């Protein structure tokens, strides 16, 4: 709790006031400035209603707001949007509307279900832009670990990919040719996400959570490549800011390095922000604050950062 209070204070209060704040003022201000439209169904799949929460500034109706589409981590086999909801706080303080998304885990549906779901969440944003006053020209995807992977695939997989096909079930009329309403993602903030899924299925970087996500399905190597962000790096893709610890034991730091090299080669604006000695998240408060400050400057440079009233 002390680390959280320090992080919130650094994000919200002027530097002169930080020393006097024990976190209460910060929490009060956040509660006053934001509301939540909770448990919204964005997709029905595998007998489940998949939910998301929309965290709104009080004045969201006054002008279109940039939006962050956020996916939780957990190796595609664990985690929940509810348990990681506090990760939305820095984005809210920056003035974004935040859409916090659940998706199918491996115990409900194996790969590529999570990828299909998050692509549908992006389409939900496009379909509901008028209701929530989303600025569809300023959509950012983000997440940590498996959520970072999903943030990348959601932004990078082409709109005509077969992985978007299940989203057609959300079409209100089910008549006429289906049109994908997903907006083009303006930027990705990838927190130590998997960028080469096939690399985690065999060899020295094999991880049990990746094996569990695929099970014993045939053709899993081919599918793993088809849902790897590295497969979709191309000129004109969305800018990417990656945060990765260089001592990460769960997602090798090399995944961030390889993504940067591929993006550089394609001419896509990107940053690899390295946490020296950093493990798999859980960074010290000062390092986490510094990373978010760098993210904020990156987005400001792209003219995505919300205008402050």
How many domains is the chain built from? 1
Q: Which two tokens stand for residue 70?
A: 């956020």
Residue 222 phi, psi (nearest 5): -65, -45
Q: Which domain holds residue 51?
A: 2-301
Angle at 69 between CA 64 and CA 75, to 5 degrees: 175
233 belongs to a structural domain:
yes
Angle at 241 between CA 31 and CA 155, to 5 degrees: 85
211 belongs to a structural domain:
yes
pLDDT tens digits, 245-289:
999 999 999 999 999 999 999 999 999 999 999 999 999 999 999
**CATH number of the CATH domain containing 159:** 3.40.50.1820
Is the pLDDT at 157 greater than 50? The verdict is: yes
53 belongs to a structural domain:
yes
308 belongs to a structural domain:
no
Is the pLDDT at 91 greater than 70? The verdict is: yes
pTM exceeding the 0.85 threshold for the entire prediction: yes
d(CA 68, CA 296) in angstroms, rounded, equals 13
Q: CB within 8 A of 111, min separation 6: which ones? A: 76, 197, 213, 214, 217, 220, 223, 224, 227
* Beta-strand relationship, 134-144 and 97-101: unpaired
Concatenated DSSP letters of 39-87:
EEEEEEETTEEEEEEEEEETTTTTS-EEEEEEE--STTTS--TTTTGGG
Is the pLDDT at 210 greater than 80? The verdict is: yes
Is the pLDDT at 183 greater than 90? The verdict is: yes
309 belongs to a structural domain:
no
306 belongs to a structural domain:
no
307 belongs to a structural domain:
no
């Amino acid at each position: 709790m002390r680390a959280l209070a320090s992080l919130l204070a650094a994000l919200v209060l002027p530097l002169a006031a930080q020393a006097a704040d024990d976190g209460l003022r910060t929490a009060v201000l956040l509660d006053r400035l934001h509301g939540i439209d909770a448990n919204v169904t964005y997709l029905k799949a595998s007998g489940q209603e998949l939910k998301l929460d929309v965290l709104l500034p009080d004045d969201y109706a006054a002008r279109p707001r940039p939006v962050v589409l956020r996916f939780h981590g957990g190796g595609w086999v664990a985690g929940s949007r509810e348990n990681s909801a506090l990760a939305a706080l820095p984005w809210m303080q920056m003035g974004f509307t935040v859409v916090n998304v659940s998706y199918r885990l491996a115990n409900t549906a194996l790969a590529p279900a999570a990828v299909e779901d998050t692509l549908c969440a992006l389409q939900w944003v496009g379909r509901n832009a008028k209701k929530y006053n989303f600025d569809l020209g300023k959509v950012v995807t983000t997440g940590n670990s498996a959520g970072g992977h999903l943030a990348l695939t959601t932004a990078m997989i082409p709109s005509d990919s077969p992985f978007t096909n299940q989203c057609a079930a959300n079409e209100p009329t089910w008549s006429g040719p289906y049109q994908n309403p997903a907006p083009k993602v303006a930027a990705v903030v990838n927190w130590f996400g998997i960028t080469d899924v096939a690399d985690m299925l065999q060899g020295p970087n094999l991880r049990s959570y990746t094996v569990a996500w695929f099970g014993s399905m045939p053709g899993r190597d081919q599918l793993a490549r088809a849902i790897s962000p590295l497969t979709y790096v191309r000129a004109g893709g969305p800018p990417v800011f990656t945060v990765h610890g260089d001592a990460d034991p769960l997602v090798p730091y090399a995944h961030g390095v390889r993504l940067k090299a591929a993006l550089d080669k394609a001419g896509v604006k990107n940053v690899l922000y390295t946490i020296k000695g950093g493990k798999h998240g859980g960074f010290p408060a000062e390092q986490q604050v510094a990373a978010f400050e760098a993210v904020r400057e990156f987005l400001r440079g792209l003219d995505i950062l919300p205008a402050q009233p």
